[in-house]
Structure 1
Amino acid sequence: MIHTPAYTPKVSFDTFENPNASMFSFTLQVKSEGYKRTRNTRVFLCAASPDESGMEALDWSLEALVQDGDELIVFRGVDEEVLEKDHDILRDNARDLMRTIQAKSYEFHPDRKLSLILEYIPGKITDSLDRLIALYRPDSVVVGTRGRRSWQGMGMIGMGSVSKYCLSHSPVPVIVVRPERKVKKTVEKRKADPKRGRHFE
């Protein structure tokens, strides 16, 4: 059972063993003590890949986006081939990720009251995103980006393609988060460009 002083575990869902399930997934949910959903509650869906871009998107969502009373759904897509392995390993990985999410949230804003949901889903990233958007109807979707090669090592569509897919297909607003390191590198490169205008210096 996942538990921290700031969060209480709620009902979880597991369809890894159900051959008739429309989507194989492992869902974990925790809520801050005293959390209450209201008409002002905002819902955000963050696609948190295990690479730098995905973790940057998750960190930004927890630090700068969600506020007291909001709900954050974190989606971690994994290669469908992992279903052929021990499912308990997948569940343990999901629980570890949820602990990380809780710890980061508490570190950024210890007094903030949130609902946190983790969707750990094998399969095609874009298909899973479409289903999660239809299920949760988020106010916005948050994705990271670092180019097309970031997910290819896992045999899946590149994160750059995922962000482009969301921008062109998502029925809700999309927030694309670039890794801070790359943003700084781009700014430094522009400053060093001799052809760069000096209007704002």
Structure 2
Amino acid sequence: MRLKFILMRSNTLFISIITLFCFYNCATKRYKKSKFHDGKCEYLYVDDFSGTSISTSDFIVQKDTISVSALKFECTYSAFYTSWVMYNNYGEWNDGVQPENSYNTYLIWKDIDLFSNGGKYTVVTYGAEKPSDIYSSLMVFDDKGRDMLFENSGVKTKLIDLFSTEIRKKKKKKLKSIFHQKYIKQFRPEFWETYKTYPNVKIYIE
């Protein structure tokens, strides 16, 4: 069955796709030398990235085979770059998925008019900071649950261009701090009290 029918069937199935995906993957540039000399990222790019790639993975959900595409921005200085873009432009996420036995958290924004033309999309952001790889990534679905990063998608190139441009914009320090504080308090509550004791940290949320 096609992805659009499965995603329309229930929100639970949509969450399960993201969970499965997690386990499968769990101008002049400004950059900093990576401390991981044996990894693929010799340099980490500040408000930028070394390149992009799209991966497609097949999953079986309730006997149906589903293909999901993800856009990855390689060697970003932070794994949160795509999440910062969404938070900066559209505010706080609507939902978040944190699969068991995984440190990744998938942030979900729903009914987002990405191109200011009335079209609504669901955007899922995540990333990873590993010794071998650092990246920031996202998945995008239209209002019928169809994968918008497939090769034949009419907006695939526009999505790459949009997020490439937004990632390269300078991030506001206060906005990043508020994002991280909300993220830690919701998804890493065990670290919240420790975080508040860090020197030179200003707390913006209750």
- The two structures share one fold, judged by TM-score above 0.5: no
Taking structure 1 as the reference length, the TM-score comes to 0.29
Task: Point out the structure with the larger helix share.
Answer: 1
Between the two structures, name the one with larger relative contact order (CA 8 Å, sep ≥ 6): 1
- Greater Rg over alpha carbons, structure: 1
Structure (1 or 2) with the greater strand fraction: 2
